[in-house]
Structure 1
């Protein structure tokens, strides 16, 4: 689209906005009526197909994500990132690529960010220049305005539209041969799992697929900052945190939700991501009979998980030695994900939870690079103890 066409489109949108403002402010959005206003405002005479196209574009502008809406609706999109008017990036599951979409001005980016924030009941302006919120469809919104950022910046993370099963991820190439069978056995044995990896490596997707393998009579309670876990299971209860209101009161954090979940007759308690004090609450729960729980954490490898947990536990006032003792009995299996050079997400390491005094790497069960590790037999014995017979213990551990 040329600069002239973009400017003309912006003028048309302004005219329609002005025309709508003269009507009932609480009227429902009517695509055809809005398109007809656009015809009158622009002097265009269009047929019904053009009306549909025009009304769709205006709907995106007034009630959707504007020029970003087609990217958000594109199958496979997980993230859309905007670094000012000239840079829009999209991740379709294979890594970030530059999109052809552009904004006409920096003010247009700011206007979209403010409108999206307002739709969530959140404030975004000079006095409150950043926001973290969830849109009506579940999309996670983060926005930052100047002068905190050099240009208006948006990050949109799309909630999973598909409920993945472990077999789907295996077929998609996320796992080496035998890994899916091993993970399925670990879920069946009710091992407590901690998934690690960087941003966008598929931790939430894999966690949802693993939870789908739980027995159909089990009750799963998930706890998240934003509802992202799409679990194909008949009995899932989702709890989501709440931010403070404009008076800075009414916040409900992850730690409080973990405490509430313990009164909900949960068979498995799941925290979408460890970020701080809620880790202490979940470790306590896993040490008091709630086997089979799970969580995710940002880390570079299974070796880095212990130090990452120490740092997070410190936020809740838990000393490192107490954390190690709690972790050793509460978290049983570590699963690490990474992005390969091609951008493909893959399970790269599986390890037992490290024991106090254990050398780094000595807890490795399996790695993409080296195959079975020094603790492969230990996991095999653990699975047998949990009722997994020889014919169901994966050959990956042999």
Structure 2
């Protein structure tokens, strides 16, 4: 663990031993072990430091609380990094050694109801506040590694994304029209391109008299809407039982009278359930999907369909009749996240293609007129 401004690792170790020896109040133990400290402000800082080491994320706690932080990464005792939207930065945080990193990783994972030890040296779990934690122990990695993905705390609307430079006002108006026309939208992009942020902004424009069902692997979507129901997947406990996956949650959501069905991210078999739902009258739904470009989205659908055991032609038919629009995001070298392309999903024989209707870099947009006609027809 790092040396905090008030007590440091020795004090925390003494407090930990005292608490392990029997029931005791944390405040009393901290005061006892930090003899000579009388200033209330110093004591408050010391107690917060000890509490973070025993119950929170230890020396990573201030990093997780830093405004704008999306990821905190620990590659070893003296290699801590964070990302607050401008790329990776080295953090001024160090641990006392490999054992301290391992102890923090195991405590975080255990707090999420999962297991991390030599028999199972990796774990992927969600903390109670929604932060996603992934950890790997040696010898799978040279050092114990911890990856923390921070839950978005601040909602964004389309106007706010325009001010941030993620899109133009014209593109924002197109997005509003897509939602109003109840077109099914898939937002694609790489990791950290802002797919979840844009999806939350789109859902915030859904009419207030509609019921939105969110289905997520982790509670990441931030949506400002008066009628949102969130279903979150649950992993297996330490005995390997009790898991509830996205596929089951989609089935349950269909029984909850949704106006809009939203899957935080297409990952596998749950995609088939949602596509079937979209083919049975659930319009205006949305999801995100990892892809390197809009043109790669059909291949990603085919790969996920194969994982779900769905033949290629059946997957093509299902997607072609269920998904209307693909929105692709990119992250530039300056770390800015922008809308790169809006396209229409179409069928070309036995294959799917994405026909560009708007692009940030290309002038020729063969599907632009078709998108305008589609929006006009849905507006009637």
TM range (shorter): over 0.9
Distance 1:267 1:130 in 2: 39
Give the drift of 1:38.
Answer: 3.2
Structural mapping, 1:1-398, within 5 Å: 9-24=8-23, 30=26, 32-40=27-35, 44-357=36-349, 363-371=355-363, 373-387=365-379
SS in 2 for 1:386: helix
Whole-angstrom CA distance in 1 between matches of 2:37 and 2:203: 54
Deviations 1:234-286 (A, max 9, x none): 11110111112233222111111111111110011111111111111111000
Alpha-carbon shift at residue 34 of structure 1 (Å) = 4.3
Deviation at 1:327, TM superposition (A): 1.0
User: 1:391 — aligned with what?
Assistant: none
Residue by residue over 1:70-118, the C-alpha shift from the partner in whole angstroms, topping out at 9 and shown as x without a partner, is 0000111111111111211111122221111111111111000011111
User: What is the TM-score with the length of structure 1 in the denominator?
Assistant: 0.91
Alpha-carbon distance between aligned partners in 1 of 2:263 and 2:69, rounded to the nearest angstrom? 24
**C-alpha distance after superposition, 1:138-175 (max 9, x if no partner):** 11111111112221011111111112111111111111
Q: TM-score, normalised by structure 2?
A: 0.95
**Equivalent pair of 1:170/1:180 in contact (CA under 8 Å):** yes
In the superposition, relative to structure 1, how do residues 371 and 96 fare at CA in structure 2: closer, same or farther (>3 Å)? Answer: farther
Cα deviation, 1:119-144, whole Å, max 9, x if unaligned, reads 12221111111111111111111111
Q: Give the whole-Å Cα distance in 2 for the aligned partners of 1:45 and 1:37.
A: 10
CA-to-aligned-CA distance 1:218-238 (integer Å, 9 cap, x gap): 111011111111110011110
Alignment: residue pair count: 379
When residues 5 and 234 of structure 1 are mapped into structure 2, their CA distance, relative to the original with a 3 A threshold, is closer
Deviation track 1:360-380 (CA, whole Å, cap 9, x = no partner) reads 976001111025611000000
Structure 1 Cα separation of the partners of residues 91 and 166 of structure 2: 25
Confirm or deny: 8 A CA contact 1:19 1:37 kept in the other structure. Answer: no
Separation in 2 of the partners of 1:72 and 1:140?
A: 12
Secondary structure at 1:150 match in 2: coil
Paired with 1:186 and 1:5, the residues of 2 have a C-alpha distance of 51
With over 3 angstroms needed to count, the CA separation of the structure-2 counterparts of 1:96 and 1:201, relative to structure 1, is same
CA–CA separation in structure 2 for the residues paired with 1:4 and 1:242: 36
> 2: CA distance between counterparts of 1:17 and 1:187?
53
Deviations 1:197-237 (A, max 9, x none): 01111101110110111010111101111111111001111
Q: Partner of 1:396 in structure 2?
A: none
SS for the counterpart of 1:239 is: strand
Query: Residue 176 of structure 1 contacts residue 368 of structure 1 at CA under 8 Å; is this kept in 2?
Result: no
- Structure 1, unaligned runs of 5 or more: 389-398
| Stretches of structure 2 lacking an aligned partner (at least 5 in a row) | none
Secondary structure of 2:34's aligned partner: helix
Range moving further from structure 2, 205-214 or 359-368:
359-368
Provide the rounded CA distance (Å) in 2 between the counterparts of 1:12 and 1:322. 63
For the aligned residues, what is the CA RMSD? Answer: 2.0
